[in-house]
Chains A and B, each alone.
Chain A
Amino acid sequence: MTSSATPNKIQRRPFVAELLAQRGDTLVVPGLGSPNWDIFAAGDSPEYLYSWGGMGLAVPTALGIALAQPARRVLAITGDGEMLMGIGALAVVGDQAPINLAILVLDNETFAETGKQRGLTANRVDIAVAAKGFGIGKTMTVTEQGQVGKLAELMFRTPGPVLAVAKIAITQDPWALPEKDGVAIARRFRIALGLEKA
């Protein structure tokens, strides 16, 4: 089977950059792979928890941070494959119902990182609909860059848990690789939260 009839239009790099420009002090947890490169390309911050492994754990990790830091907004930005590997985590999010947690799925319907193999969301699988079934009441699907304003309203200012799916194009973006040392990433993240001394 081929991908959906209408090709996705959103260009991930400017889309993520425009969204993050409105994040305020939101803590950002990118899922394994391209979301890390996207947020780093938009500008580095100690409030970004880069990861280079642990596929399926972006939402659980963001949930743990959200539970530990109830006064801070937490945004998990991940891909469709990473989200589906850990899709049960949406049930845990729906059950815990943290008001400070937002999830954005950058859905290119493809395992783009590993050779552009067709992904499971290319035809009938809809993560936003699934999220509703898992008890995440407020969801949206974004198909145009022009919807970033509404998306930012949901991601940063609407009581959570909330989830959005952004239908992004398959693009060839320049490499933008952040810090790889997990100890350094965790340390500067915890310093930014006032949990460790600089």
Chain B
Amino acid sequence: MKSRSIATVCTVPDGGLTTLLGLVESEPAMRLVTLTTEQEGIGVATGCWLGGTRAMIAMQSSGVGNCINALGLPTAFRAPCLMLVTMRGQWGEFNPWQVPMGQATRPALEAVGVKCFPVDKAAEVGETFAAAADLAFHSRVSAAVLVSQRVIGAKGFGQE
């Protein structure tokens, strides 16, 4: 994030983002913007670009469903929009309520023109994020890094 000059991270937190969000909050040069719903982050990030700084949105895959109409805004302005999505509802999911949106995340994003970068190996997260950030900010499109539960660990609620 720092190597791509991202100054603002908007989020509705997710368990898989805990360490990252903590790092953002403790970094004086970065601002954490906590949201009530993920779609607000699309507006904030677009506004940041209009005002000359770089922002991104970090969320769980269920939050993608809250963003679909909002994603028309950066597209209309041809503003960059970078999303980091921690996936639920796929690899080893315990909670059936997470499955519908988790399975629909990528098709829903692609239906509104977001370029998706799925990643399922921890070693590839950094370079994938950098590639998605470069695409978003240089080509001014919407891009989403989809981090598999295989990387972050499936949430088991203490059950086997």
Contacts from A to B (Cβ < 8 Å): 29, 49, 51-69, 86, 88-89, 91-92, 95-96, 182-183, 185-186, 189-190, 193, 195
Name the residue of chain B whose CB is nearest to the CB of A27: B51
- Chain B interface size band reads 20 to 34
Q: Is the beta-carbon distance between A56 and B39 smaller than 8 angstroms?
A: yes
Contacts from B to A (Cβ < 8 Å): 8, 31, 33-37, 39-53, 55, 69-70, 72-73, 75-79
Q: Is the beta-carbon distance between B51 and A193 smaller than 8 angstroms?
A: yes
Give 9 closest A-B pairs by Cβ, nearest first. Answer: A64-B47, A68-B51, A60-B43, A88-B36, A182-B76, A57-B43, A54-B73, A186-B77, A64-B44
CA distance A58 to B46 in the complex (A): 11
Q: Which of A86, A92, A186 contacts B33 (CB 8 A)?
A: A92
| A91-B36 contact, Cβ under 8 Å, with A54-B69, A62-B47, A183-B77 | yes
10 contacts across the A-B interface (CB closer than 8 A) = A49-B50, A51-B73, A54-B69, A59-B43, A61-B50, A64-B48, A64-B49, A66-B51, A67-B31, A68-B47
| CB neighbours of B41 from chain A (8 A) | 60
Q: Give the most central of B31, B39, B75: most A CB within 10 Å.
A: B39
| Min distance, Cβ B158 to any Cβ of chain A, angstroms | 32
Q: Is the beta-carbon distance between B55 and A64 smaller than 8 angstroms?
A: yes
CA distance A91 to B44 in the complex (A): 13
Name the residue of chain A whose CB is nearest to the CB of B51: A68
Q: Which of B34, B42, B46, B50 contacts A92 (CB 8 A)?
A: B34
Q: Is the beta-carbon distance between A88 and B40 smaller than 8 angstroms?
A: yes
CA distance A84 to B66 in the complex (A): 16
Name the residue of chain B whose CB is nearest to the CB of A59: B43
| Min distance, Cβ A196 to any Cβ of chain B, angstroms | 9
| CB neighbours of A61 from chain B (8 A) | 43-44, 46-47, 50, 73
Q: Is the beta-carbon distance between A186 and B35 smaller than 8 angstroms?
A: no
| A186-B43 contact, Cβ under 8 Å, with A53-B73, A67-B31, A92-B35 | no
| Min distance, Cβ B40 to any Cβ of chain A, angstroms | 4
CA distance A52 to B52 in the complex (A): 22
CA distance A189 to B32 in the complex (A): 25
Q: Is the beta-carbon distance between B51 and A69 smaller than 8 angstroms?
A: yes
| A67-B73 contact, Cβ under 8 Å, with A92-B33, A186-B78 | no
CA distance A89 to B48 in the complex (A): 15
Name the residue of chain A whose CB is nearest to the CB of B79: A186
9 further interface pairs, Cβ-Cβ under 8 Å (given A60-B40, A89-B40): A51-B76, A53-B76, A60-B44, A60-B47, A63-B44, A63-B47, A64-B43, A68-B51, A182-B76
Name the residue of chain B whose CB is nearest to the CB of A52: B76
CA distance A29 to B37 in the complex (A): 20
Q: Is the beta-carbon distance between B36 and A54 smaller than 8 angstroms?
A: no
